[in-house]
Amino acid sequence: MQDSQMRPEFIKQVEQLREKIFRKVKPKVLNGKFVTGEMLLELADAYTESINSGSVPNIQSAWTYVCHNECQRAIDDAVSYYSAAMRPIFEETKISLD
């Protein structure tokens, strides 16, 4: 639904609720690192997989797994950024990126 389709009172109350949540809720931190929504989902997935396989979730192993995935994502993003930035230069000099 678009905001224009909702009552102004409702929109105002939702905005007040959001402000209250952002004021009071502290970011989640695990082992001194902020947990993003994506990381939280990965942790939940690792815990669920562990429980479903009949074992007890190992928080440290799951966190290591999540950190490894975050690092790999950062490396992939850096390589993509570098490739995109350097492609015009390499094309000028006829050097292949592949």
Euclidean distance between CA atoms 42 and 60, whole angstroms? 13
Residue 52 lies in a domain: yes
Which range of residues forms the domain containing residue 60? 3-93
Site of tokens 């970011």: 27
- pTM of this prediction? 0.44
Q: 28-66: buried (b, 16+ CB within 10 Å) or exposed (e) per residue?
A: eebeeeebeeebeebbeebeeeeeeeeeeeeeeebbeeb
Count the domains in the chain.
Answer: 1
pLDDT tens string 50-75 = 899 998 877 777 778 788 888 888 99
Residue 26 lies in a domain: yes
pLDDT tens string 14-27 = 999 999 998 998 88
Residue 62 lies in a domain: yes
Residue 27 lies in a domain: yes
**C-beta separation of 47 from 67 below 8 A:** no
Looking at residue 35, its amino acid is V
pLDDT tens string 36-50 = 888 888 888 888 988
